[in-house]
Amino acid sequence: MLRYMASRPRPQVPWLDEYAEACKIVEYNLSPGKLTGYDCPICRNKGNLIGIDDAGKQVLWLCSCREKRQIIRNAHSSNLGELLQKRFSNFRIEEDWQKVMVKAARDFAAEGGKGWLAMLGQTGCGKTHLCSAAANQLLNMGRKVVYMLWTTDARQLKRLSMEEVYDRMFDRFRKADVLYIDDLFKGKITDADVQLCYDLLNFRYNDSRLTTILSSELSLEQIQAVDGAIAGRIRERCGKNFVTVSPDPNKNWRLRQN
């Protein structure tokens, strides 16, 4: 039977080749790939699909999940940890004055994080939540965020002695697309802290493409007292994205009794 079929000339049906080609495309598009981190129902984790362009030629389409995977990778490498859960949608506005904070952070994020954002002053009023929510929104826009908790990361940097190691570690923060410094100058402030902060912020001040998000329990006046150049750069780069919560026990969530 097979020999009989082999001896027969192949039928010259014009659409048969196209049909075979279409079958191969469908087979490829339905086959699973090996990409991880996100389960894509469109490309089945291959990152691409074969399509046909207007001229009838096969083309490789890149799947939109590549961006999603990149965002997930960026989130993992941001060091934000549990702060990745902080969103504007899960921030509870309990007082009118908090609306000002939310608006500043929201507007900043909605504009793609142009310039800097600073939330200063009173502890426990939601500064970290809102700065994190803004950072998360920028992550979702495809930007690379690096989280720096001043109390631990600055201490670690100051301990590094080998120049090469220090530079590499420092560059992770200094050159980050979006750097979020949480609790700047918390605790005892040494000359080394001031120098580190100045080197970091001055580098970022000189490159307007870099976005910086800051939270600190200190007011601008208190930062000014520590170092005028640092305070001046923060104020200038933040522009309208600048919020200070004045000390008031009623504004401290952690101190609230109800």
Residues composing the chain: 258
* Pick 17 or 27: Cβ nearer Zn ion: 27
* Pick 44 or 155: Cβ nearer Zn ion: 44
* Pick 67 or 236: Cβ nearer Zn ion: 67
* Pick 51 or 81: Cβ nearer Zn ion: 51
Instruction: Write out the residues near Zn ion by the rule CB under 5 A.
Output: 40, 42-43, 63, 65
Residues forming beta bridges with residue 244, ordered by sequence position: 120
* Pick 63 or 135: Cβ nearer Zn ion: 63
Residues forming beta bridges with residue 59, ordered by sequence position: 51
Shortest distance, position 41 Cβ to Zn ion, whole Å: 8
Shortest distance, position 68 Cβ to Zn ion, whole Å: 8
- Distance, CA of 161 to chain centre: 29
* Pick 42 or 100: Cβ nearer Zn ion: 42
Q: DSSP assignment of the chain, as one string?
A: -HHHHHHSPPP--HHHHHHHHHHHHHHHHHS-----SS--TTTSSSSEEEEE-TTS-EEEEEPTHHHHHHHHHHHHHTT-GGGGG--STT----SHHHHHHHHHHHHHHHTT--SEEEEEESTTSSHHHHHHHHHHHHHHTT--EEEEEIIIIIHHHHH--SHHHHHHHHHHHHT-SEEEEESTT-S---HHHHHHHHHHHHHHHT-TT-EEEEEESS-HHHHHHH-HHHHHHHHHHHTT-EEEEPP-GGG-GGG---
Shortest distance, position 226 Cβ to Zn ion, whole Å: 49
Shortest distance, position 198 Cβ to Zn ion, whole Å: 45
* Pick 49 or 226: Cβ nearer Zn ion: 49
Contact 251, 243 (CB under 8 A): no
Shortest distance, position 48 Cβ to Zn ion, whole Å: 8
